[in-house]
Every structure is written in C-alpha cells, then in structure tokens.
Structure 1
Amino acid sequence: MVTCKETCAAIIGLHKNGFTDKDIVATKIAPKSTMYRFIKNFKERGSILVKKASGRPRKSSTRQDRLLKRIQLRDRSATSAELAQEWQQAGVSASARTVRRRLLEDGLVSRRAAKKPLLSKKNIRDRLIFCRKYSEWTAEDWGKVIFSDEAPFRLFGASGKRLVRRRKEFQTAEAPVKQIAEHDRQLQSAEHSSDRETKTKHSHSARPTRPTLSSSQKALSHSLCLSLSLSG
C-alpha cells in the first residue's frame, strides 16, 4: 500500500528531475490538486515534511499565569475550582484542570499538609503535671477509672485531610502545616473525667500502700500515662 509520504516523495522526485507540472499530472499517481499542493509547498519551504501545526492557543498569557501563581501563594489551601473562579475575575475563563496544569508548570504540587498540634505553655504544663501525678499508677489503678462524657470539639474546621500546594523540594518549611488544637486532635474530657471519677472513688478511703513496681508494670503505667496526657 502506497502511503502519502511515498506519493509526495515520488512527485517531488519527478519535479527535481525536470518534469513539468503537466507531465507530473499526466502520471495520475495522485489527484491534480494534491500534486500541485505538494509541488507548491516544496518550492516555498524546500522540504516535503509537513509543517508543524501551532496547536491550540493558550487560554492565558504569561502575565496571567504569574497572577494565578500569586493568588495560589496567597492561599495555599485554595482548591482548583476556587482558583478558577478567582482567575475568571481577572479575565481568564479556564477550567480547574487548566489551573492545575499552570500550577504544575510552576512547580506547585498538591500535597497533604503536615499536622502540628497547637500547644500553649499552659497545655504543656498541665500535661507534665498530669504525668507526674499518675506516673506510679498500675494497671489495676487505671482499671478503677471510668472514662465517660467523651466528645470531640473541633476548633479549626473538619478533621479530615487538608491539601496545600508547595514546591516538590519543600516539605514543611515553605508550606503551611495544618494547625490542630489540642481539643481538635483528641478527646478533651479524658483527663477531667479521670480526675472526677478518681476523686469520687478515693475520697472516703485511704489508698493502700503499693508494692514495689516491676519493670513491666512501670512500662505499662508509663505508656498509659503518656496516652492519657496526649488525649488531654
């Protein structure tokens, strides 16, 4: 089967060998209009290669791309759809997919934000006091505590994942972390419930003298203490 390239090469070969256009058309190896077009293009460009098409024009200019980047850096957690709406106000009507492509061209990728608990000096002090207070408790002591009325209190929106855009070479230095309040990350009432129940159970009776704790008991008590301090 003769391809278009082979037909074009045959026509141009006849043209180079001195055949007139009329003689080439008489061969009928291709339609007359096709032969004339091949010869005309060869005379203009000096080649039989098809000229590369310019493709679909970009929806935005370089200046508008820089504007999109500034909008994204101003709010790294903004979604592609939100950026497309804000970009449209600047005169660029583009889809969310186009927005993502432009940001990828600038090296801005979407990644999950790192989590960082918001611990004030008071939070740190209260946790340390709690650990020291119950550091010698055994598993039997903790078994007498009833944890109730637990409920999460979200101070900073939903607890799900949050995406931010940052450059690939930066992990947390450039990108904002997801700030999580102490009560948003864990159940805030665990410590208060344990204190309340402990006072109720031990208010009318003296605590018995405990035997010396073994290394395994100390490790278990220490792990329980840390888990409860984090949940506080």
Structure 2
Amino acid sequence: MTPTKKARVWTMVEKEGKSITETAHALDLNRSTVSRAHKKLLEQGPNPDFYLEVPRSGRPSSISPRLERRAVRYITSGRASDATDLQRQLFMDLHPTTIRHMLIWHRLFGRVHHSKPLLIKMHRYKRRKWAEGFIGWKVSKWKRVWFADESKFNLFGSDGRMYCRRRPGEELEPRNVKPVVKHGGGSLMVWGVLTWKGPGRLHRVEGKMNALQYTSILSDSLLGTAHDQKRKPSSIVLAQDLDSKHTSRLAQKWFKQKCIKLLPWAPSSPDMNIIEHAWEMLDRAVHHREHRPSSLEELWKVLQEEWAKLDVQAIRHLYESMPRRVEAVLEAKGGYTKY
C-alpha cells in the first residue's frame, strides 16, 4: 500500500471515525488489506510514519517498481500485447508467468480480442455524421424501420473457438471433441428481414449472390413480408449495409420502382444493425436443439422453424436499444461501441 493510502486509512479510521468496512469501500480496497494496514499503523503509536517500510519475509520481487510502471505503459499504449511480448522487450531473464502475475496485480487480465470491422479515419467521420443525423430519433420512429441482411450458418457449429469444461484425461471424450468434417461440412447463406412485429421471411441464398439474385430475393421475401403484415411497399423504410449488391444500380432501380425508402447507412457499422443479434439468437436456437441437423436440407428446415419462433419481445428490446446505440457512436466519436 502506498504512503498516501496509508495516510488516508489512518485519517478516515482514527480521525473521522469511519469503520474498516466503510474505509475499504471508499478507497476501493479489500477489507482485510485496510485492516492489516490499520493494525500496523497502530503498532507505531499515535504518530505513525506512513513512509516506514517494514522488512518483508520471502524473496524480493524480481521486477522493480520502475520497471513495473514501464511494463504497464507498454501494455496500455499498445507497444506490447502480452506477457511474452513484454519478456522479449523488457524482461529477457524472466519467465512469462512471472510477468503475467505482475500484470494481473495491475488488473491487466488476459482476454481474447474483440472482432470488429476495420475503422479508418473516414469511417469514423461518416459514422459520427450518421449518428448526428439520427440522435433525435425515438423508438416510435425506429419502429417503422425494417432491418435486413445476410448471414452464414455452418452445419457443424461455429468457425471460431469453442470452449468446454473437462477434467484431466477427458480431452478425447465425445462431449469434449469438436467434430471437424473435410471442407467444413457445408454451410448455408440466408437473407432475412426484421420488423417491429417480429421476424419477416427468411430466404435461402443459392450459390454466390449477385445483384440480380438480390433483387429476386427482395421481390419474393421483402415484398412477401410486406404482404404478410399488410403493409404497402411505399411505407417501408429499409436499413441495409453498404454491400456492393445492396448499392448496385439494379437494386437502386428496383427500390425506386417499388417506392421503398432506404435508411442512410454508415460504413462498417454492423453494430447499428439489430438483425446481427437476431442471427446470434437464431444460431443458438439451432445448436441447442436436442437433435442437430445432419444435412444442409435439414439445417434449412430447422433455420426456418427457429426463425419463425424468435421471441417478438426480444426483438422489440433490440429496437428499443437503437437510441442508445446512436448515442454510443457519438460518445465514441464514430469509433467502436459495445454493441
């Protein structure tokens, strides 16, 4: 504990009459830490020396305070990414585990990087301008917007890292093994639309989608959703990303012919499209089923079933988050948000 904090502990407990628990809470310290410090200060009498360093038992630290501060600066500034990187740059004679313990003491924990789209300076500027244009929108306005996008679903689970809990020696039990099929086992690309009233139609994308197929999907599934909900196409405000198929001349001509309004969109902004969360909900529902699909046709059937069963209330919560999302983009000055 630093001399300054020792002085604050002494002042709060002895002069202000606060309890050990209240002092620990105010200083954001563990109660036992404050209790031990207070006890050692009492042993010195009524005028303790806050700078007194009592000799400690055990082996001295391998890293000096000065080097610790330097290591923390390297991590927080991005000059080093992890303990191994620090070892190479600053601590050639130390084991990475020793460096990890030091970083944990400074509350720098090892975590997996968040995957986010690349944002260059122009992207940040356009995202901030986009947010400024919609900062005044309430949920009542966002209700009129339909969110559309495509997503890929794998037959055998996620492309990313998968975790399990197991005991030593159980690594090859079936429940702890991730099945891998040659060439990935196949996947499906689907297009869907999300509305305030619930999920719209889900459309299976055949092969690699181009502008012609995209307009065909819109004619079938977007207008089909409008028909299901008894909405005129001219009343639709569609939110979609800036994929080349979405912004193609053919697609723009189709939207103009059908009198469908497009919501202006910012580049690299999947965090503003709430359908991304609906895809996550759908993926969890599919892979939590007791009997998982074993073929692409079964997967397509299951996707349609689970998509239709998405909770409307959960979807409305996503709509209600839109004003907060816009605020988050402004607060981040067009940078990354938690969404």
TM-score (norm 1): 0.34
Bigger CA radius of gyration: 1
